[in-house]
Amino acid sequence: MKRILLTTVVFAAATAFTGAANAADIARPAPMAVKAPAYIAPMYTWAGFYIGANLGYGWGDGSGTLTSGGVTGPLSGSGDGILGGAQIGYNWQSGPWVLGVETDFQGTGISGGFSAPANGVVGTERTPWFGTIRGRVGYAVNTWLFYVTGGGVYAQNKISGTAPAGAFSASNVGWSYTVGAGVEAFVAPRWSVKAEYLYMGTPDSAPVPPGAVVTGSTNSNLVRVGLNYHF
């Protein structure tokens, strides 16, 4: 009888222990997996104000005729140099299309020589500075912007040299047109880099040796790279 009672007690204790363990398992559900927060890509927009700086290289040439002392002869020249400056602009964006205005001001080391052998004229020309006021039309693809641009350019030109009448120097500021194209890309949410080419036509006026009349045309080109901060 004692053996039966002991067996019954052991069995009851084991059953109670098993039930408690099962209850504990039920009371502690398995921890749920925690999902990592979804990655949200930064939003880029070309709309708004921006300001930046640039560095580039310019080159050009010109040809025509020079008349002085009753003699008319051919005139030619060319030059090149480094340039650098700053730009500021504003963009409007509608879908992938971007419209904007931009102005920049450049200091340059562009210089070169010119001559009119038949007239005994030889000299040098420098462009200490110039600026542009342009519109831009672009198409955005993800973080890239491809654009064309055009507007006006104003520049100071200085000449000095010698002629049969002696040494001379002159300076003036003239206006012309400019057209070009470029590409710009965001490298951070507010920072972009750009590469640009501009062509500049013949200015409406240019310095000439005293007493001379000059006719002709010039072709000026520049390439530059820049960095912009977008507000």
- Provide the token pair at 35: 């999902």
Domain CATH number, residue 127: 2.40.160.20
pLDDT tens string 199-229: 999 999 999 999 999 999 999 999 999 999 9
Beta strand segments in the chain, E: 48-68, 71-94, 97-116, 121-141, 144-163, 166-188, 191-200, 213-230
Q: Is residue 19 a part of any domain in this protein?
A: no
- The domain total for the chain is 1
The answer as to whether 21 is a domain residue is no
If you search the block for the tokens 């470029």, which residue do you land on?
182
- The answer as to whether 9 is a domain residue is no
pLDDT of residue 104: 98
Separation of alpha carbons 136 and 200, rounded Å: 16
Integer Cα distance of 115 and 159 in angstroms: 11
| Closest by CA position to 118, among listed 165, 73, 64, 69 | 73
pLDDT digits (tens, 9 = 90+) for 73-104: 999 999 999 999 999 999 999 999 999 999 99
Residue 92, domain member (yes or no):
yes
Inside any domain, residue 73: yes
Q: What is the DSSP letter of 210?
A: T
pTM score, whole prediction: 0.80
d(CA 60, CA 155): 14
State whether residue 22 is helix, strand or coil.
helix
Which DSSP symbol is given to 30?
Answer: P
Q: Tens digit of pLDDT for each residue in 166-175?
A: 999 999 999 9
Flag whether 150 is in a domain. Answer: yes
Instruction: Name which of 32, 20, 77 is nearest 206 in CA terms.
Output: 77
Instruction: Specify if 201 maps to a domain.
Output: yes
Q: Identify whether 114 is part of a domain.
A: yes
Note down the domain range covering 188: 48-230
What is the signed CA dihedral for 148, 102, 204, 83, rounded to 10 degrees?
Answer: -90
Q: Are 211 and 31 in contact (CB under 8 A)?
A: no
| DSSP character at residue 211 | T
Give pLDDT, residue 44.
Answer: 81
How confident is the model over 10-62, as pLDDT tens digits?
333 334 334 444 444 445 555 655 565 554 445 689 999 999 999 999 999 99
Q: Which residues pair with 169 in a beta bridge?
A: 160
Type of residue at 158: K
Asked if 69 and 115 count as a contact pair (C-beta separation under 8 A), the reply is no
Over range 134-141, report the average pLDDT.
Answer: 98
